[in-house]
């Protein structure tokens, strides 16, 4: 399978998402929906109310746990080599590669959507960017520097 460890060149560093961020997010959501389910079932006055709570809160709980398992079993990783940076997002759309031949300078910025923010790595010369949800900026920067990429301390890019 493409992207497996036996298909990678020897100089590739693989950076995984932040376990603390992933486990914290999914752990919180799981506990919140489990509490909603149990409190809703205990507080419902009618069988119709119990069915509605069970379907709604139970369905969301199953969805969150399923997404959590998917993230654990098929993690998104960033492959950093001396020639390119590639996000392996298993089962999802392909993200663009950052090729060092087009410029070695990269920087970080945060893309905000309401209350949620996502770390983004952008190549300065091409403005090509890769979204890195649940990744640690420090881990990505360390891997990039180790493979000869120039990582800007403060990105000059505007937030979008």
Q: For residue 115, count other CB atoms closer than 10 A to its CB.
A: 5
Q: Which of 124, 131, 112, 113 is nearest to 154 (CA)?
A: 124
Residue with the two structure tokens 């969805």: 63
Q: Which residues, other chains included, contact 35 with Cβ-Cβ below 8 Å and sequence gap of 6+?
A: none
Residue 46: Cβ-neighbour burial (10 angstroms; 0-12, 13-18, 19+): exposed
Q: What is residue 152's three-state secondary structure?
A: coil
Which tokens in the block code for residue 47?
């069988």
Give the pLDDT confidence score for residue 149 in this predicted structure.
Answer: 93
Print pLDDT tens along the chain (160 aa): 444 444 666 778 888 887 778 888 899 999 999 999 999 988 889 999 899 999 999 999 999 999 889 878 888 888 999 999 998 887 666 788 899 999 899 999 888 888 778 889 999 899 899 988 888 889 999 999 999 999 987 654 444 4
Give the pLDDT confidence score for residue 11 in this predicted structure.
Answer: 79
Query: In this structure, what DSSP letter does residue 107 have?
Result: E
Residue with the two structure tokens 């759309």: 93
For residue 96, CA distances in Å to 46, 55, 122, 128 come to 53, 39, 11, 7
Q: Which of 25, 3, 11, 1 is nearest to 100 (CA)?
A: 11
Give the pLDDT confidence score for residue 8 in this predicted structure.
Answer: 61
Which tokens in the block code for residue 19?
């376990």
Give the pLDDT confidence score for residue 18 in this predicted structure.
Answer: 78
């Amino acid at each position: 399978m493409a992207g497996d460890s036996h298909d990678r060149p020897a100089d590739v560093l693989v950076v995984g998402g932040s376990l603390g961020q992933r486990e914290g997010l999914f752990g919180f959501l799981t506990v919140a929906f489990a509490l909603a389910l149990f409190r809703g079932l205990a507080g419902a006055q009618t069988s119709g109310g119990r069915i509605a709570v069970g379907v709604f809160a139970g369905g969301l709980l199953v969805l969150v746990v399923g997404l959590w398992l998917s993230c654990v079993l098929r993690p998104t990783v960033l492959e950093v080599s001396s020639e390119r940076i590639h996000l392996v997002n298993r089962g999802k759309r392909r993200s663009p590669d950052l090729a060092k031949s087009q410029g070695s300078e990269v920087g970080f910025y945060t893309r905000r959507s309401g209350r949620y923010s996502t770390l983004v790595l952008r190549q300065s010369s091409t403005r090509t960017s890769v979204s890195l949800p649940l990744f640690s900026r420090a881990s990505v920067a360390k891997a990039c520097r180790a493979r000869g990429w120039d990582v800007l301390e403060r990105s000059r890019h505007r937030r979008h």
